[in-house]
Structure 1
Amino acid sequence: MAIGASPDSLAGQARRLYTEELVKGLVPLVQTAIDTARNLLDKPSEHTVFARRRDLFQALNSGAQAWHRGIVVGLRQALAPGAAGSRGLDFPLPSTGREAALSLVSDDTIELEIVTSRLALAIMDKASWEFADLRSRIAHLENRGELDPQDMLRAHVLARIVFDAWRAAGQTLEGWRELQPVLHDEFALLVEEAYHETNRWLVDHRVLPEVDLRPFIRRSRTHPNAPGGWQAGTGFSDSRHDAGRNLGNATGYGSGAASYAGNSGGGAYGGPASGRGGVGEETRMMTRGAPLARNREHAEAVLGRLNRLIGRHVPEFANSTRSAGLAAGADAPAQAMSPGLARAIETAQQGIRQRLSTTLQGGEAVVTAPVMLEEMHQRKQVLKKAAASPEERATIEIVALLFQSILTEDRIPAAVRVWFARLQMPVLRVAVTEPDFFATIDHPARRLIDRMGACVMGFDSATAGSVAGKPNEALEKEIKRIVQVVEAYPDTGRRVFQTVLTEFEKFLEHYFRNENEATKRGVSLAQQVEQRETMAIQYTIELRKMLNEVPVQEGVRQFLFHVWADVLATTGVRYGAQGAQTKQMKRAAADLIWSASAKVTREERAEVIRRLPLLLKSLREGMASAGMETGKQDEHIQQLNNSLAAAFTAKAAVIPDDRLRELMERLETLEELLPEAADVDIDESMVLDLSGHQNSELEVVLDGGSMPTPAMVAWARELQVGSWYMLDRGGHSEAVQLAWHGLRKQLSLFVTPQGRCVLFQQHRLASYLQAGLMLPAQDEALTVRATRSALAKLDVDASRLLN
């Protein structure tokens, strides 16, 4: 902390700096709004739309100064002594619901709340990470646990000031809605930059250089099986990822559209949840956005900040990346590289290849990170001298900073780090000729580095991507091959990166299934589980069709659907569809159907009694083969005895002989009638009994988590094979690696470094993601972390871009 400055003084100065940064950016923001209104007016439209846009442009053109002045005055009032932090502004807090008297609320008030809440949500979606840091630092300075709900630093306070000034300037709600997308984007960028500059100023004054976000993470008791009754976030409280996901609760706004519709799900302004506890927390979690989307937004925000910072010093760099970003959906046009730089890159590449190749003799990497960094610095200076423009020099500096961060990442094994180092020049060549490398997180060069990094960065560099601490030769060999392919095609650009990325994904599937000793047994077991469950569901579907109009006792019908279909699937997987045991189980099903049909003659009843012992013996054998306990078998046999006894006195119609023969024939050829496996959903509501798959080598997760949203289910399908996660289960947390996805990703297998296999059904996995019991081991991708590191260094000294 700065010498001679009191904490309260620093907090006040930080708020003033935040205000000044906002005021500084208001003039171009208002001008952008006017320009957008003018552009809308120029577009062809219906007469009513044209008239509305004309009125908007005229009103905004004449009232822009008043709107700008109103925002500035509102910000100054919020900054006045006593208004910031210590007391609330004149904005109503939301009702706590139960104790508030019911009253009618005007439509105008509701619209006001909706508009300001949407603006605040747009701001926090963009600036949540910066706000989390700033909130921590201000709370630390003021020695408080949390900022006041109406603190001027909160987004909803600014949103109210902005919209109040809009209305006071004579602008309409319809006009705001016409410009809403642009206004949301512009205010989000402005506030993010203001938060960032305020954070930077506080760090310069030594206020919490490293932010600990644990005090702001909300915990809940929503699931009885969670360790000690606690659930989401347990064991991960120091993660920025958790803090970002829980930010909605702390800032006063959730991330879902329902967030502004009251606070029935718990403290909408950071206050305590209702007395129902678990229900409130579950409601909050169901309305938050998917972490995958949030991670993407965070990555894009980091790239955006980098481009804006560089753009202030190298304007043409920002123009090129902006154009590339707009063209990123298609193949962005390549830019020409100066001949001198092209020759320098080729020379540097040859030097790196020769230098690092000699260090790998005998299979050991002997070049330390400090040595590589020093050589990288020397190469950078040579490349900058060969560059022909400020944009090329800036690109050289940024790529060098990215690889400086990557090569100092101690979770990357040393032997693999060498191959990452050899990617620097190919990436630099792509970055110079394809500016969308800096404009989008989806560039294949970025994605390749991230995928390789995710596979080798476990929680322990000694075991990451390895078995029991032994070097993983197959994975290292594939990374080596990929780098050599990229080096062999220097002028191919993104196409070679996209090609090897696709090949790497295919390698991972083959590797975990066939080569990795820790995973191939588990993958084989998981595939058998998938085959059995798929067949069980297929048999259930077909049996339902067969017995749809056949008069069979209900108890027998349910036994066939819920038990015998699983028995048929188990024997089918174990012995084949035409195996003798499988045929025996089909005959048992046919006998059971016949025995359970109405018996009206003495001869039929005698025949049932004669065949019953052999039938029951076959049924027991089938249930035992499917792994059913003896006690459960006894229950089913007793229920079947009751159903068969009822058949003796049933008055239902008798199944005709030709109908029985048809059923027997269909059972014999049942496999030919089954629906396609690709059309079968292995949903927990249809899975018969996954616990039958439990054994010492494979743990099937059957409980835990919370109700997943569709976004969480989609996230579960997006998890990538080879990536590491932290699983909170059984009272402890452990690192697991995703080794296999089943058909349509309905089953997923995770493996610990010790080789223990854990199998999830898709919705159960989404439940764990929803509850925070399964979290990515890395809260940021490797290139995002490297970009953030580069941004921090450029914040300190931006002159290095051109020097």
Structure 2
Amino acid sequence: MQSTPASAAQRRLAGLARQRFVEGLCAGLPSLDQAVQNFLRTQMSQAGTGREMQLRHDAWMHYQRQRTDWIGRTGAAWRAALAPHPGQVADADGAHNPFELLSDDVMENKVQASRMALMVSEQLGQDFDQMRQCTQSLEERNLVGKDILWPDGVCLRLVEQWGEAGLSRGELRMVFTPLQRGLAHLLQQHYQAMNAFYAAQGVTPADLRSRIRHTTGGGGLPHPNPPSSQSRLHAAQCLTGGSPPPPRAHAQHAPPAAGRTPLAHLRQQAQGVVLGQLLQLLAQPAPGLFGLSAPARPSPALAHALALSPMPAGASGVVAQGGGPQAVVQLVSQARKQSTELKQKAETGNEKVVVEVLALMFQSILTEERIPPAVRVWFARLQVPVLRVALAEPAFFSNPDHPARKLIDRMGACAMGFDAAAINGSALEAEIRRIVQVIEQYPETGSRVFQLVYDEFEKFLSRFLTEKQTTARVVSVAQQVEQKAVLTIQYTIELRDLLRDVPVRDEIREFLFRTWAEVLALSAVRHGAQHADTVAYKHAAANLVWAVSAKPKRSDRARLIQNLPTLLRQLRQGLTLMGVDGAAQNAQIKVLTDTLADAFQSKTAAIPQAHLDAMVERLVNLEDLMGDATLGEVPLNVENVEMLLGIDASSIHVLADNGARVDDAMLAWAQELQPGAWYTLDHNGGAAHVQYIWQSQRNQLHLFAAVDGRSYLIQLHRLAAYLQAGLLVVQDAEGLTLRATRAALAKLDANPERLLG
């Protein structure tokens, strides 16, 4: 149908705004180039290792050679994005085939661009939303993720042209921060300019939901033409149960929720892609899919069928016989038959879609070979409870944090590393069985029961993962290592503060700060902060300070001679506690006794006794005043572990921080790993299959256990470095339900007729 003159004028206005926006971006490219050059120049002037300095110099020289080409290519790519007609409808990713196989380079570009767009979007305010609403109102369509007006579209073309200009991904990572900052400022500036242009033309933001047309459902003939954007939005309403979801790219790049890891961000982005594909599939011509509101509960016939079929036929018998590969094959067939029967009872198109999608998702879950068959047998019994929830809460499909999805993902991720022999009869299998049975007992409670058992499963994991005797011992030692490190830091700080204005020779300061602070910390960890030995060591610190101070009075010298044997005995005991004995101990004591001899001959004023008494009191009660504000890096090595463990620690691999530089995002990810997940650890050229089982109270130490009994105690920054370098790779990056949704969509894309069959 031809456009009316008014709508044609609106589209021309939007097209002019787009052109002004892109030209503004292109005009700002020199500022981005300057930001990159300034950053690389600053990096070259900073100190570093020889390798780091060479890499910075090489990056600077390479960028100088390629920068002109990159700027020209990026400007051309941005302008080329204006070539398609503004009203042309594209899919959410700008691709014609959502299941097209993509090369590694293309996927890497998408990941880098998504990351940049995410950070850029977090710095944009209301100007972007106002521009988006005005443009969508003028063009009478939703903007899509690859649109040049989206941060995604701008970033993707910029990243693509970086590679096309011959610049490397490593160089892009190096200049990532100044580039995204400069781009955020540039986009903000030109979003404001677009809004000012729209305002001058009398265009104001509009609520696009008022433009959605609600059609009537039913079993009519297929649509002769592809559905409009309004139909797509209404299909989203049918799926998510209410107002249409926000545009995908905007939702994808919303500010991250508290506690969400970089891996969770990637999963959320992938979830947005999958949801977009599902909405696209629902928008294909098919009878009865449009104009249907999502029901709050199943229709009577379907509800009755669900009540009669709480689980796949014969599931109880299969479980009783013990789960095995053949049992799983049998259950998959039974579950497929049950879904077909339930779909025949469905009275609306929406119900048929939900039943079919859930059936295909569970088909994928039940055929996941990495999960032991015994666990998949129990997962089969969750299909009907999850179907009830999906029918009542359509947000199950769009919300990766839905309790039902989280529970299945969590249980699947924890079971994924076990083989059938290891998990059969284990506490983990028993807990999964208990959870499924609890869910089956409360069929009408919806997502609340899933949230309840999810919380219980998390509590179970905290016990289960560390209950083995060897693991519990390693955890205990790791806790002591961190506690000793914290106390050492605190004692050192306190001693430095107490001796700031006290005339004490450098040899004594060095001994107290570097050696005796660690003696105090180790004694406090082993015996307790108020144990008699620990208190005696604290008095010894003050007595040593007094002993090496000037002794102008005869009474002071006589007192020192009387107390010296006790003081030296305490000092030797403390050094022995630290493992310093023999010749090394004698050398330490000799330095102290030489300083004591000098104190006999000094004529300077003595340290007031009141100051020494205050020092002792402060040290004795220091633990009551401690906090985490001054916690730095935890000293970690095999000797520390063996000293605290008291046995050979050859089965414990200690990976201490080595100064490797890591991104803040990787550090945040390392602090928020979920216990129970399985990883592949590439350490010293050998790959180990490990489960993440524990993190210390202050997140400084992390423990992984391998199936062969080895343990890997890794310090925080080293863990982040392994994640960043790809030496520690999660085995279930997407999550079980997201992967199952993707598999279901692949089948529906190939055979959409099965939705209503």
Shorter-chain TM band: 0.5 to 0.7
2:225 is aligned to none
2:491 is aligned to 539
1:83 is aligned to none
2:570 to 618, 624, 643: 618
What is the CA distance between 1:701 and its match in structure 2?
1.5
2:88 is the counterpart of 1:136: no
- Paired residue secondary structure (2:682): strand
Inter-CA distance 619–154: structure 2 relative to 1 (3 Å threshold): closer
2:670 to 710, 716, 720: 716
- Asked if 2 retains the 8 angstrom alpha-carbon contact of 1:705 and 1:771, the reply is no
- Asked if 1 retains the 8 angstrom alpha-carbon contact of 2:374 and 2:420, the reply is no
Inter-CA distance 305–362: structure 2 relative to 1 (3 Å threshold): closer
Moved more, 793-802 or 182-191: 182-191
1:141 is aligned to none
1:473 is aligned to 426
2:476 to 517, 521, 524: 524
1:342 is aligned to 303
Paired AA for residue 278 in structure 2: L
- Asked if 2 retains the 8 angstrom alpha-carbon contact of 1:308 and 1:318, the reply is no
Q: Equivalences for 1:567-586 in 2 at 5 Å?
A: 567-586=519-538
Q: Equivalences for 1:410-449 in 2 at 5 Å?
A: 410-449=369-408
- Asked if 1 retains the 8 angstrom alpha-carbon contact of 2:666 and 2:720, the reply is yes
2:632 is the counterpart of 1:683: yes
Moved more, 755-764 or 490-499: 755-764
- Paired residue secondary structure (2:714): strand
- Please list the CA deviations of residues 582-636 of structure 1 after superposition, one character each: whole Å capped at 9, or x if unmatched: 2332232222222233344466456556655653443343233234576765665
Question: How many residue pairs get matched?
Answer: 599
- Paired residue secondary structure (1:755): coil
- Asked if 1 retains the 8 angstrom alpha-carbon contact of 2:543 and 2:567, the reply is yes
1:461 is aligned to 419
Inter-CA distance 103–702: structure 2 relative to 1 (3 Å threshold): closer
Cα distance in 1, alignment partners of residues 173 and 292 from structure 2? 36
Cα distance in 2, alignment partners of residues 629 and 472 from structure 1? 50
Query: TM (normalized to structure 1)?
Result: 0.63
What is the CA distance between 1:337 and its match in structure 2?
1.5
What is the CA distance between 1:477 and its match in structure 2?
1.0
2:279 is the counterpart of 1:307: yes
What is the CA distance between 1:770 and its match in structure 2?
2.2
What is the CA distance between 1:524 and its match in structure 2?
2.3
Q: Equivalences for 1:233-382 in 2 at 5 Å?
A: 249=169, 256-259=176-179, 290-312=262-284, 335-350=296-311, 352=313, 355-361=314-320, 365=324, 368-382=327-341
- Asked if 1 retains the 8 angstrom alpha-carbon contact of 2:680 and 2:690, the reply is yes
1:487 is aligned to 440
What is the CA distance between 1:557 and its match in structure 2?
2.8
- Asked if 1 retains the 8 angstrom alpha-carbon contact of 2:362 and 2:380, the reply is yes
Cα distance in 1, alignment partners of residues 533 and 80 from structure 2? 65
Paired AA for residue 98 in structure 1: M
2:234 is aligned to none
Cα distance in 1, alignment partners of residues 477 and 517 from structure 2? 20
1:504 is aligned to 457
- Asked if 2 retains the 8 angstrom alpha-carbon contact of 1:749 and 1:757, the reply is yes
Paired AA for residue 428 in structure 2: L
What is the CA distance between 1:659 and its match in structure 2?
1.8
Cα distance in 2, alignment partners of residues 435 and 395 from structure 1? 8
- Asked if 1 retains the 8 angstrom alpha-carbon contact of 2:311 and 2:384, the reply is no
Cα distance in 2, alignment partners of residues 634 and 317 from structure 1? 87
Paired AA for residue 356 in structure 2: E
Cα distance in 2, alignment partners of residues 699 and 682 from structure 1? 24
2:625 is aligned to 674
2:346 to 387, 397, 406: 387
- Asked if 2 retains the 8 angstrom alpha-carbon contact of 1:704 and 1:768, the reply is no
- Paired residue secondary structure (2:626): coil
Q: Equivalences for 1:76-91 in 2 at 5 Å?
A: none
Cα distance in 2, alignment partners of residues 382 and 775 from structure 1? 41
Cα distance in 2, alignment partners of residues 689 and 101 from structure 1? 44
2:4 is the counterpart of 1:62: no
Cα distance in 2, alignment partners of residues 298 and 598 from structure 1? 72
Q: Equivalences for 1:100-119 in 2 at 5 Å?
A: none
- Asked if 1 retains the 8 angstrom alpha-carbon contact of 2:680 and 2:689, the reply is yes
1:98 is aligned to 61
Cα distance in 2, alignment partners of residues 470 and 350 from structure 1? 23
What is the CA distance between 1:189 and its match in structure 2?
5.1
- Asked if 1 retains the 8 angstrom alpha-carbon contact of 2:748 and 2:754, the reply is yes
Paired AA for residue 665 in structure 2: A
Paired AA for residue 641 in structure 2: H
- Asked if 2 retains the 8 angstrom alpha-carbon contact of 1:595 and 1:644, the reply is yes
2:685 is aligned to 731
Inter-CA distance 155–452: structure 2 relative to 1 (3 Å threshold): closer
Inter-CA distance 541–291: structure 2 relative to 1 (3 Å threshold): same
Cα distance in 2, alignment partners of residues 101 and 497 from structure 1? 57
- Paired residue secondary structure (1:519): helix
Cα distance in 2, alignment partners of residues 552 and 118 from structure 1? 72
- Paired residue secondary structure (1:98): helix
- Asked if 1 retains the 8 angstrom alpha-carbon contact of 2:636 and 2:656, the reply is no
Inter-CA distance 503–256: structure 2 relative to 1 (3 Å threshold): farther
- Please list the CA deviations of residues 492-518 of structure 1 after superposition, one character each: whole Å capped at 9, or x if unmatched: 1111111111111111112223x3455
Paired AA for residue 298 in structure 1: A
- Asked if 1 retains the 8 angstrom alpha-carbon contact of 2:312 and 2:338, the reply is no
2:752 is the counterpart of 1:798: yes
Cα distance in 2, alignment partners of residues 800 and 766 from structure 1? 46
1:188 is aligned to 145
RMSD (Å), alpha carbons: 5.1
Cα distance in 2, alignment partners of residues 561 and 186 from structure 1? 62
Inter-CA distance 540–383: structure 2 relative to 1 (3 Å threshold): same
- Please list the CA deviations of residues 742-792 of structure 1 after superposition, one character each: whole Å capped at 9, or x if unmatched: 214332211111222222233332222222222212232111111111121
Structure 2 segments unaligned to the other structure (5+ residues)? 22-32, 38-58, 83-89, 114-125, 137-141, 153-159, 161-166, 183-260, 643-648
- Asked if 2 retains the 8 angstrom alpha-carbon contact of 1:551 and 1:597, the reply is yes
2:201 is aligned to none
- Please list the CA deviations of residues 86-120 of structure 1 after superposition, one character each: whole Å capped at 9, or x if unmatched: xxxxxx9x998538989999xx999969988999x
Cα distance in 2, alignment partners of residues 117 and 738 from structure 1? 47
2:518 is the counterpart of 1:551: no
- Please list the CA deviations of residues 420-477 of structure 1 after superposition, one character each: whole Å capped at 9, or x if unmatched: 111111111111110111111111111111110110111x6357xxxxx463621111
Paired AA for residue 450 in structure 1: D
Paired AA for residue 693 in structure 1: V
- Paired residue secondary structure (2:550): coil
- Asked if 2 retains the 8 angstrom alpha-carbon contact of 1:627 and 1:692, the reply is no
Inter-CA distance 99–455: structure 2 relative to 1 (3 Å threshold): closer
2:735 is the counterpart of 1:781: yes
- Please list the CA deviations of residues 711-767 of structure 1 after superposition, one character each: whole Å capped at 9, or x if unmatched: 222111221011111222222121211111221433221111122222223333222
Cα distance in 2, alignment partners of residues 654 and 546 from structure 1? 16
- Asked if 1 retains the 8 angstrom alpha-carbon contact of 2:312 and 2:381, the reply is no
2:513 is the counterpart of 1:561: yes
- Asked if 2 retains the 8 angstrom alpha-carbon contact of 1:599 and 1:649, the reply is yes
Inter-CA distance 395–769: structure 2 relative to 1 (3 Å threshold): same
Aligned identity (percent) is 40
Cα distance in 2, alignment partners of residues 99 and 753 from structure 1? 46
1:76 is aligned to none
- Paired residue secondary structure (1:186): coil
Structure 1 segments unaligned to the other structure (5+ residues)? 1-26, 36-57, 72-91, 138-145, 157-173, 196-215, 217-246, 263-288, 324-333, 464-468
